[in-house]
Chains A and B, each alone.
Chain A
Amino acid sequence: MVKELKVSALENGTVIDHIPSKSVFKVIKILNLENYENQILFGINLESKKFGTKGIIKVHNKYFKKEEINKIALVAPSATLITIKDFQIIEKTSLQIPNYIEGIVKCFNPNCITNIEKVVTKFNLVPDQEIKLRCHYCEKITGKNNLAFI
């Protein structure tokens, strides 16, 4: 069963591999795959040599833009993005949380200008073990626990 979910089964599309199992549904939501009409396969709690268990999502006939990839990095920093064309792996990218994030994350501060007026959010990544994003405007830190996406 695990074998069948592997990369080779996809003719054209994208495989997002090495997602922490608990983040798979978040990734689906962030990428708005709920409203995607082509075939999507996903697996949770699959065996992984690297992480013990992992999740995987396979999306047929879909290639992601860079800003969409950034969104994934915030909930699944360990994920790998694999681009498939004609059953061949064209590209394998490991994701990294960018140092600067624009227009993806909501500032958690309700009194921030970005939540009051139409202003594109901007954040700088604070170097730390956990995800900490400092709002360019109100300077408050949005962390893992209050992370929400636009």
Chain B
Amino acid sequence: MKGKSLISINDYTKEEQLRILEIAKDFESNPSQNLLNNKVVATLFFEPSTRTRLSFESAVCRLGGKVIGFSDSSSTSVKKGESLKDTIITVSNYSDLIVMRNPVEGSARFASEVSKVPVINAGDGANQHPTQTLLDLYTILQTQHTLDDLHVAFVGDLKYGRTVHSLVIALCNFNCTFHLVSPTELKLPSAVKIHIKEKKLAYYQYTDLNDVLPLVDILYMTRIQRERFSDPLEYERVKNLYNLNKSMLEHTKENMKVLHPMPRVNEIDIDVDDSPKAHYFQQALNGVYVRQALITSILGLK
């Protein structure tokens, strides 16, 4: 993967994705490795995303590298009307790798075409956020010891959730069965279901969370946002239907784990946090290992 930008999860083959997960495992057991001596990584966040940015910066710091960049574009030359192209060309002169988050869709692909150094997409609008997908795959592998033949439930906003779309598509490589739980107006788009059908895998759709609880190995929860509903009453009606609490875990499989891309609002009750089945904080931590793996393999150090 040396020198290879990661813009869209499909830029990496299944084998390349598995290789990243393997390297990440090495970082999990030994997170501080001084591999990035004298390397500079630029983190360009044209919109704030503290969680993602800190995870990348933590990864670089634990590797002994230096970080330059900005955490939102309001104080930069971008605000003065500088083009993305000019910003990227300039920063690629100053760094060995660019990590970029930008609300404009396709901006990361464009950046990778004008940059002299590889680019990692840390989110381009509603389009792609491939490092989230890799860390989700890593977390599933970590908890289930396999990615094959699993029953995975996705719960909440399946229509707009970019995280869900990418993970569903990535899991299509692993013979999973999909259990899709959402309000009718937030069902998984057919453009994503096409990928499931292409691989001749099974998916089932539900509106009641309780129906899937006994069936699945992974329960992937997501946030339902008020602004997705044209009718506020409809939001009030559905918002509590997709809340998980501790008592609901009684009817789940022994190996079942709850994941969430975070931040959560109230879709997972805090009483779930103590359960051995809660795995969403570990999931966020895994993001650091996966990003360490990605950065070092793109820079040809692993």
**Complex Cα spacing A39 to B84, Å:** 45
**Residues 111-129 of A at the B interface (beta carbon under 8 Å):** 111-114, 116-119
Q: How far is the CB of B124 from chain A (nearest CB, A)?
A: 8
Q: How far is the CB of A120 from chain B (nearest CB, A)?
A: 10
**B302 part of interface (Cβ distance < 8 Å):** no
B233 / chain A contacts, CB cutoff of 8 Å? none
**Complex Cα spacing A136 to B128, Å:** 13
A138-B191 CB under 8 A given contacts A113-B84, A117-B84, A117-B85 = no
**Complex Cα spacing A25 to B83, Å:** 37
A113→B106 contact, CB < 8 A: yes
B83→A117 contact, CB < 8 A: yes
Interface string of B57-86 (1 = CB under 8 A from A): 000000000000000000000000001110
Q: How far is the CB of B115 from chain A (nearest CB, A)?
A: 14
Please give me the residue from chain A that is nearest to B107 by CB atom.
A113
Q: Is chain A's interface secondary structure helix, strand, loop, or mixed overall?
A: loop
**B281 part of interface (Cβ distance < 8 Å):** no
Q: A interface, how many residues as a size bin?
A: 10 to 19
B110→A119 contact, CB < 8 A: yes
**A139 part of interface (Cβ distance < 8 Å):** yes
Q: How far is the CB of A89 from chain B (nearest CB, A)?
A: 43
B127 / chain A contacts, CB cutoff of 8 Å? 138-140
- Which of B103, B106, B109, B126 has the most A CB atoms < 10 Å from its CB? B106
**A76 part of interface (Cβ distance < 8 Å):** no
A112 / chain B contacts, CB cutoff of 8 Å? 104-106
Please give me the residue from chain A that is nearest to B83 by CB atom.
A117
A139→B128 contact, CB < 8 A: yes
A116→B104 contact, CB < 8 A: yes
**Complex Cα spacing A107 to B105, Å:** 11
**Complex Cα spacing A136 to B126, Å:** 15
Our pick among A113, A117, A118, A141 for the contact of B105 (Cβ within 8 Å) is A113
Total chain B interface residues with beta-carbon distance under 8 A: 17
**B31 part of interface (Cβ distance < 8 Å):** no
B125 / chain A contacts, CB cutoff of 8 Å? 111, 138
Q: How far is the CB of B83 from chain A (nearest CB, A)?
A: 6
**B139 part of interface (Cβ distance < 8 Å):** no
B105→A111 contact, CB < 8 A: yes
**A59 part of interface (Cβ distance < 8 Å):** no
A137 / chain B contacts, CB cutoff of 8 Å? 105-107, 109-110
A113 / chain B contacts, CB cutoff of 8 Å? 84, 104-107, 109-110
A114-B191 CB under 8 A given contacts A138-B127, A139-B8, A139-B128 = no
A114 / chain B contacts, CB cutoff of 8 Å? 106
Please give me the residue from chain A that is nearest to B105 by CB atom.
A138
Q: How far is the CB of B162 from chain A (nearest CB, A)?
A: 11
**A109 part of interface (Cβ distance < 8 Å):** yes
Our pick among B110, B126, B128 for the contact of A117 (Cβ within 8 Å) is B110
**A24 part of interface (Cβ distance < 8 Å):** no
**A135 part of interface (Cβ distance < 8 Å):** yes
**Complex Cα spacing A119 to B108, Å:** 13
**Complex Cα spacing A140 to B85, Å:** 21
B126 / chain A contacts, CB cutoff of 8 Å? 111
**Residues 118-159 of B at the A interface (beta carbon under 8 Å):** 124-128
User: A residues touching B (Cβ–Cβ < 8 Å)?
Assistant: 107, 109, 111-114, 116-119, 135-141
User: B residues touching A (Cβ–Cβ < 8 Å)?
Assistant: 8, 83-85, 103-107, 109-110, 124-128, 191
Q: Which 5 A-B pairs have the closest CB atoms?
A: A137-B106, A138-B105, A138-B106, A113-B106, A113-B107
Supplied contacts A117-B84, A138-B106, 8 more A-B pairs, CB within 8 Å = A107-B106, A113-B105, A118-B83, A137-B109, A137-B110, A138-B124, A139-B127, A140-B105
A-B contact pairs, 29 of them (CB 8 A): A109-B105, A111-B105, A111-B125, A111-B126, A112-B104, A112-B106, A113-B104, A113-B105, A113-B109, A116-B104, A117-B83, A117-B84, A117-B85, A117-B104, A117-B110, A118-B83, A119-B106, A119-B110, A136-B106, A137-B106, A137-B107, A137-B110, A138-B105, A138-B106, A138-B127, A139-B105, A139-B127, A140-B127, A141-B191
